Amino acid sequence: MQVRRPWLWSLGKIWGGVRNRATPSSEEPASDPEPAQEDEAGAGDLLRQVSDVCWRILVIGVVVGLLLWGLSYIRVVALPVVLAIFLTALLMPPTAWMRRHGVSRGLSTAITMVSALALLSGVVTLIVQPAIQGFGGLVFSIGEAIGSLQTLFRSLGLDPQLVDEAMNNAQDEVQRFLAEDSDQLLTGAWAAGAAVLEVLTGIILVLVLTVYFVHSGDRLVEWITTLFPAKSRRPMRAAGEVAYGVMGRYVRGVALVGFFDAVGIGAALIFLIDTNLAIPLIVLTFIGAFLPVIGAFVTGLLAALVAFVTQGWPVALVVVGVVLVVQQLESNLFAPRVYGKALELPSAIVLLAIAVGLIVAGVPGMFLAVPVVAVLAALLRNRQLIPSGEEQPVPGKAKEAKEEPPARVPAAESGDRPSVTGN
């Protein structure tokens, strides 16, 4: 039996501990970098991120600028295409409903287009023609209102010369704007009857493209996506659904809001002022809904001025009160339920968009700027929901995969009040 030597055992333990302390363990975590190194690394990452965002914005700006420059040369074609897309967004819900209930593509398209043309003819007969006949009296009333305002300002003690100068400058600006448009209409391609030809061409293009988009718009989108690489098709379809969903909700919402304002304000105008003057104001109120923020203010101001000239201050104040009540009901109760988040834009952004649209594309740009900005905002807001990568069809079911409709973005199916992509 071997006898242990305690002093040898203790000496061995001491020697092992010293050796372990002298040899660094591979499992020890690496020492933290110095604060200076962390700051330099953070600054480098921030600079890299900012530079990446800047060059992307620069590329997008160049592409958008080239696109606008190209569209300015084919405005006769580009504008009907845009109008046809808007009309398609307005007419597709009843068409899609009929197709879901077994009606064929051709028959559902025919029913929708015939109904739309019949409704348009009725509106033109009942409202537009009387409105055109009453515009002369409306312009005369507005001129009298301006003269009455000049007299009122003088009676309040303001400098008559200053008042006259301000009014004359405003009239000169309006006349200059109209003169520039008239020069454009009377020169170049508009000369020698080309204006009539272009207008007829635009109307025919709008009708034909609307019929085609309602009938086979989804097939056209599928064909366009096949022109791009396979890995880009799903993101393109998803982005297209987001954009189309917002555009459709915007167009339908604007039409309903304009109808609400026209009925509410028009009922008071017909009761308070002459009917021949009220009908043009009703039409302008409906059209003004397509210019958010600005349209409501301008049409309300015109209604108050006409009431002031024709009926005096008491009726004008009543008209102002009715306009304010209707617009408050529309903006706080009716419009949020109709739009959802399709037009969730700050008022400042809306005003800037309208101003930029006016500068870039004139009057059509004013009406198209807000829906374009709403679509861009929706794409940015839903960028995380847009899938990426190539489609992976199930083996042996390639045919079925091709025939199936593209998958919808989750945000587009969020109920009656969708986020931004409601239908």
Higher pLDDT, 395 or 333: 333
**If you compute the radius of gyration of the chain from its CA atoms, what whole number of angstroms results?**
33
Residue 337 pLDDT more than 50? yes
pLDDT of residue 149: 66
Report the pLDDT value the prediction gives residue 42, as an integer from 0 to 100: 58
**Predicted pLDDT at 145:** 67
Q: How much is the average pLDDT of 152-162?
A: 65
pLDDT band at 314 (very low <50, low <70, confident <90, very high): confident
pLDDT of residue 251: 86
Residue 350 is encoded by which pair of tokens? 């809306």
Higher pLDDT: 220 or 347? It is: 220
Question: Over 90: is that where the pLDDT of 193 sits?
Answer: no
CB burial of residue 81 (10 Å; 0-12, 13-18, 19+): middle
Q: What pLDDT, on a 0 to 100 scale, did the predictor assign at position 188?
A: 47
Residue 393 CA to residue 387 CA, distance in Å, equals 15
Instruction: Name the band, by pLDDT with cuts 50, 70 and 90, for residue 104.
Output: very high
Tell me what the mean pLDDT of segment 402-415 comes to.
42
- Sorting pLDDT into bands at 50, 70 and 90, what band is 154? low
Residue 418: pLDDT over 50: no
- Name which residue leads in pLDDT, 230 or 43: 230
Residue with tokens 């092992």: 16
Ranges 59-73, 125-139, 292-306: which has the least confidence: 125-139
Mean local confidence (pLDDT), 154-158: 66
Q: So what's the pLDDT on residue 208?
A: 93
- In angstroms, rounded to a whole number, what is the distance separating the alpha carbons of residues 239 and 383? 8
